[in-house]
C-alpha cells in the first residue's frame, strides 16, 4: 500500500497550507482579546466620567 492509499478521503496531504479552518482559532483569540480590551477601556471611561461628575477631580475648596 502506498501513502496515498492510507490517507482517508478528503485528508490534506502532509505539508499542505492550513485553510480558513486553520486560521480561525487565531482570529477567535484576537477577537476575544480586542473585545476584552474594549470592555475594559469603556468601563474605565465610564468610571472616570462618574468620578468627574462626583467632584473627585475638582480641587478642594
- Supply the pLDDT for residue 11: 61
- Supply the pLDDT for residue 58: 86
For each of the chain's 61 residues, which pLDDT tens digit applies? 565 566 666 665 566 666 666 668 899 999 999 999 999 999 999 999 999 999 998 888 7
- Supply the pLDDT for residue 59: 86
CA 34, distance to chain mean position in Å, is 5
pTM of the model: 0.55
In DSSP notation, 5-53 reads HHSPTTPPPTTPPP-HHHHHHHHHHHHHHHHHHHHHHHHHHHHHHHHHH
Domain layout of the chain by residue ranges: 23-55
Amino acid at each position: 500500500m502506498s501513502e496515498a492509499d492510507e490517507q482517508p478521503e478528503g485528508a490534506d496531504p502532509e505539508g499542505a497550507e492550513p485553510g480558513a479552518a486553520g486560521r480561525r482559532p487565531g482570529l477567535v483569540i484576537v477577537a476575544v482579546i480586542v473585545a476584552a480590551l474594549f470592555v475594559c477601556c469603556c468601563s474605565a471611561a465610564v468610571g472616570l466620567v462618574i468620578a468627574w461628575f462626583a467632584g473627585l477631580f475638582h480641587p478642594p475648596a
